[in-house]
């Protein structure tokens, strides 16, 4: 199973982007969740043979942009979706697997992932990779930002 980037990291990144860009954070989070919620079950039940297919496809993402162009309310969902693909791609580059970026070309490009392990074996492999440590730093920075914000809010409340 190729499961780049921890699922909660996708959701947290989308939430932060929503706050930064002043867009609906919940809709961005939904968009960021969709690729794995669509493609992983499809592979688990045997509809496709890879864990990154239609919802991880750049051509499908571009086609989705047409929907966004017609219905602007879907923009945050599309941006969350795009952020998921971007983070998966960054993970593969950080972990030295640039050829796995070919996943973005599905279905026009068929490729065999460099890493293809069952879930538990993949998790064991993943926690020793550079990408996992990058994610730990990101989570640490996020936790620090939340704590800083809370302490400044409580100082403001005490003053007021």
Residues of this chain that interact with Zn ion (CB under 5 A) are: 35-36, 88
Q: How far is the CB of 144 from Zn ion (least distance, A)?
A: 26
Contact predicate 5/13, CB 8 Å: no
If you ran DSSP here, which 8-state letter would residue 128 be given? T
Tokens 């190729």 belong to residue: 2
Q: How far is the CB of 92 from Zn ion (least distance, A)?
A: 10
**Nearer Cβ to Zn ion (88/135):** 88
The distance from CA 78 to its chain's CA centroid, rounded to whole angstroms, is: 12
Q: How far is the CB of 55 from Zn ion (least distance, A)?
A: 8
Q: How far is the CB of 8 from Zn ion (least distance, A)?
A: 12
Is the backbone peptide bond immediately before 2 cis, with ω within 30 degrees of 0?
A: no
Residues with Cβ within 8 Å of 4's Cβ and at least 6 positions away in sequence, in order, are: 87, 88, 91, 92, 95, 131
């Amino acid at each position: 199973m190729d499961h780049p980037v921890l699922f909660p990291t996708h959701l947290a990144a989308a939430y932060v982007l929503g706050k930064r860009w002043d867009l609906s954070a919940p809709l961005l989070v939904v968009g960021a969740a969709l690729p794995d919620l669509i493609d992983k079950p499809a592979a688990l039940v045997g509809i496709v043979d890879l864990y990154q297919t239609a919802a991880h496809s750049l051509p499908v993402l571009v086609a989705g942009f047409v929907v966004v162009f017609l219905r602007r309310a879907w923009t945050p969902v599309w941006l969350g979706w795009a952020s998921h693909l971007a983070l998966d791609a960054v993970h593969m580059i950080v972990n030295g697997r640039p050829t796995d970026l070919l996943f973005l070309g599905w279905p026009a490009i068929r490729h065999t992932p460099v890493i293809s392990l069952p879930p538990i074996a993949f998790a064991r492999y993943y926690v020793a990779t550079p990408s996992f440590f990058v994610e730990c730093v990101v989570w640490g920075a996020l936790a620090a930002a939340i704590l800083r914000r809370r302490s400044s809010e409580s100082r403001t409340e005490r003053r007021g």
